[in-house]
Amino acid sequence: MPTEPRPRSATVLFVTALLLFVVGSLVAWWQPPRLFPLKPQTAAEWWLQPLEDNAFQRMPRIGEKLNDVFVVPTTGEVWAVGKKGLIVYSRDGGRTWERAEIVGKTDKRPDLKRIVFTADGSRGWAVGWNGTILATDNGDKNWQAQASGADEVLEGIAFAADGSHGWAVGWNGTILATDNGGKSWQAQVSGTTENLDGIAFAADGLRGWAVGSQGTILSTDNGGKSWQAQVSGTKKWLHSIAFAADGSHGRAVGWDSAILSSGDGGKTWQSQASGTKKWLHSIAFAADGSHGWAVGPEGMILASDDGGKTWQAQAIKSNKHESIRIVTYDHSESDNSTHVGLNNIAFTPDG
């Protein structure tokens, strides 16, 4: 029995569907991956960009654990430090990384805790265990040890804009100061034996603050020649402190979800609700003083767009939520912040 001819319309539909399938497959095949794979996709991006279930696997990863990251404001270069003397840097926004070298008499490779650079990226310093202070004076991959005169773990470092005046803080109330870019360091009297984790200075290089265990907040208005205790209103360990350039508006974070805020240079501090019960490692704010971020364990990122009055959790896609140690604001780009985990670095282009 002869078969009936297939309707022409059905053939056209089949050929059209096949062509769409082939073209769609080719487009998807040649489609470049998303630039920021950890950023949640919008509805439009879901259609325009490839779907990735394991995007985190192509993020830059580094073999050792990271403790700090610094973005040079004028160049956008990214520097990070971590365990066993690790210093790495990226000159292409974090897509590729190179390892810096420690030269000179450095038989040991102590863990490095913090890193900082001048605004032009020409000079940098890193601090860590055993009173370690390393420095580079040409912004390159070679670092040399500076004599700190201390044996304590150094947890934080800050430098004035001139690149000459700097301060480092650490365990047992240690505060060191230099007025010659680190060629020599002198101990300052902190008035405490608490461990100090973080330090920040206003743009004038005179007003500074240090935070640490037992809710300790110290302040100076003469470049560290003398330090006074401020009333924090908490006994929680404070890990990080950040102040605006005006030296008036500051925030500090620490254990048990602690977020403190001051609008008068630290004369008074108020507790802010973080919306979490976890400890917070680090805090950073954009130059506008409104947009800020705080980070903690299990990939936790909190964000605020009202100067810290309220905080909201941000999503980060990963196969395992690593503890995020540091958040820093990239002043070389508009509305851009950088987050550091245990052994990877994640960037967000939109805060």
Q: Give the domain ranges of the chain.
A: 12-48, 66-348
* Token output for 13: 């539909």
Whether the Cβ atoms of residue 201 and residue 161 lie closer than 8 Å to each other: no
Q: For residue 334, what pLDDT is reported?
A: 46
Strands 142-146 and 101-103, by their bridges, are parallel
Sign of CA dihedral 272, 274, 276, 280: negative
Q: Which CATH number, 1.10.1200.10, 2.130.10.10, 1.10.260.40, 3.40.50.850, labels domain 66-348? A: 2.130.10.10
Lowest mean pLDDT among 10-24, 110-124, 308-322: 308-322
Instruction: Give residue 126's pLDDT.
Output: 96
Which amino acid would we find at residue 232? S
Instruction: Check residue 316 and give its pLDDT.
Output: 60
pLDDT score, position 40: 59
Amino acid letter, residue 298: E
Q: What CA–CA distance (Å, rounded) separates 115 from 139?
A: 12
User: Phi and psi at residue 158, in whole multiples of 5°?
Assistant: -145, 145
The number of beta carbons lying within 10 Å of the beta carbon of residue 15 is 10
**Which of 45-54, 145-154, 169-178 has the weakest average pLDDT?**
45-54
What was the pLDDT predicted at 329? 56
Whether 3 shows a pLDDT value over 60: the answer reads no
Give residue 151's region: left, alpha or beta (phi > 0; psi -120 to 50).
alpha
The average pLDDT across 207-217 equals 96
Instruction: Select from 174, 103, 176, 170 the least CA-distant residue to 135.
Output: 103
